[in-house]
Copies of this chain bind each other. A is one copy, B any other.
Amino acid sequence: MIPRYSRPEMTDIWSPETRFGIWLEIETLAAEAMENLGQIPPGVTAAVRKRGGFDVNRIDEIEREVKHDVIAFLTSVAEHVGEEASFLHKGMTSSDVLDTCLSVQLVRAADLLVTGIDRLLTALEKRAREHKLTPTIGRSHGIHAEPTTFGIKLATFHAEFQRARARLLLAREEVATCAISGAVGTFANIDPRIEAHVAKSLGLSIEPVSTQIIPRDRHAMYFATLGVIASSIERLATEVRHLQRTEVLEAEEFFSAGQKGSSAMPHKRNPVLTENLTGLARLVRSAVTPALENVALWHERDISHSSVERGIGPDATIHLDFALHRMSGVIENLVVYPDSMLRTLESMGGLHNSQRILLSLVEHGVSRDDAYRLVQRNAMRTWGGEGPLLDLLKKDPDVSSKISDAELEALFNLDYHFKQVDTIFERVFGTA
């Protein structure tokens, strides 16, 4: 985890304090169920609730000795609780605690990531509505194609992050399971009702069948989903980077008053945030392959997944969380230049309307071949720098004899391209 790309809300989820706190919660809930079932003496749960606690440094100290984290934790808890602690963990296996805890952490992380997506969605919708009818050239292959609006551009990202949100909720559901099933998952020494109680209390589902551990296809799906979301961030970051490049400059990341891009060149405002987000997307995605490799554990379990998860668990969620908020900030504060967009749009002398002229000539009785020839000879002149296409067409008798100047001007009306913007906005945002 790279501290400068983290937010405390997410790093807290992965702190030792949080982890051991969840462990204690799991052990206490399990004890409560056992007590209710009469399997341990009454009063144990109350004692743990009252005096329960742990000391992170003490746990580290014990672990160095016994080389077993759960035993170290239980020992520390016992030092707080007293002898009632001996009834904790009865019939349970370490994985019951570790894996259920990881579920809780991943669920909390997902919830926090949803918050980040929501912030981004809000920003995208706000800016999309603001620029709903701001004309800008649509580009395919990096080449000017036909007009669109900056609002539609942003709407495509809103739709994409709506999907990201839905996927994240599914990924959350994938990992929201609890397994308290004992060694090799047979419930030989622990009643399934205990699992049910812990699961319900923690807002988790029970794991239908576990092989000592919660199966890792769930986690693979979770991290794969983070990877897809990171890729969507990369698409948005790439768009901003393109818009900010000197020759385009249709939009810019916000620069604070004091911030300096370069000592003397006032145009040197680099899209450093979105470049950074491009790199963060690569980092988040790098969790996907090891998560997939973690699935095929040997037999009922091996522990090769553990070191991987100590890395990718915090890293992927922390960096994605940071990226969502950084991306939100970029969109919220994005400096948009509608004039520049219009200038770019017009820079091709109206060539993007050539298809409409062609269709109009055909409708006015010109054969398709002739119409094509007429359009192209004027388009070539515009491209060659001889003037806007509309002017040339008006002056071309073969065209002007067919289409009046007023009609020609109408064919260059930008609004033609925007007549379905409401439809698109309704589809994406629910209302136009």
| Residues of chain B within 8 A of A352, CB atoms compared | 265
Q: Is the CB of A239 within 8 A of B148?
A: no
Within 8 A of B (CB), among A137-184: 137-148, 152-153, 155-156, 159-160, 163-164, 167, 170, 174, 183-184
Residues of B within 8 A of A215 (CB): 156, 159-160
Out of B163, B230, B261, B296, name the residue touching A234 (CB < 8 Å): B296
Of residues 222 to 264 in A, which have CB atoms within 8 Å of B's CB atoms? 224-225, 227-228, 230-232, 234-235, 237-239, 241-242, 244-248, 258-261, 263-264
Determine the chain B residues whose CB is within 8 A of the CB of A267 once the complex forms: 143-144, 348, 351, 383
Tell which of A48-56, A108-116, A302-310, A395-403 binds the partner.
A302-310
The verdict on A366 contacting chain B, using a C-beta distance below 8 Å, is no
Contacts of A348 in B (CB 8 A): 246, 265, 267
Interface residue A189 (Cβ < 8 Å from any Cβ of B):
yes
Residues of A35-68 contacting chain B, CB below 8 A:
65-68
Closest CB of chain B to A88's CB: distance in Å?
Answer: 14
Not counting A141-B301, A143-B267, A186-B421, a sample of 15 additional A-B residue pairs whose C-beta atoms are within 8 angstroms of each other reads A137-B246, A142-B242, A188-B419, A189-B355, A192-B420, A224-B224, A232-B295, A234-B295, A247-B247, A264-B351, A265-B351, A265-B355, A276-B306, A279-B304, A311-B315
* A-to-B contact residues, CB < 8 Å: 2, 4-5, 65-68, 86, 137-148, 152-153, 155-156, 159-160, 163-164, 167, 170, 174, 183-189, 192, 206, 208-212, 215, 217-218, 220-221, 224-225, 227-228, 230-232, 234-235, 237-239, 241-242, 244-248, 258-261, 263-272, 275-276, 278-283, 285-290, 292-308, 310-312, 315, 319, 344, 347-348, 351-352, 354-359, 368, 372, 375-376, 379-380, 383, 416-421, 423-424, 427-428
Closest 4 CB pairs of A and B: A138-B184, A264-B354, A279-B307, A142-B245
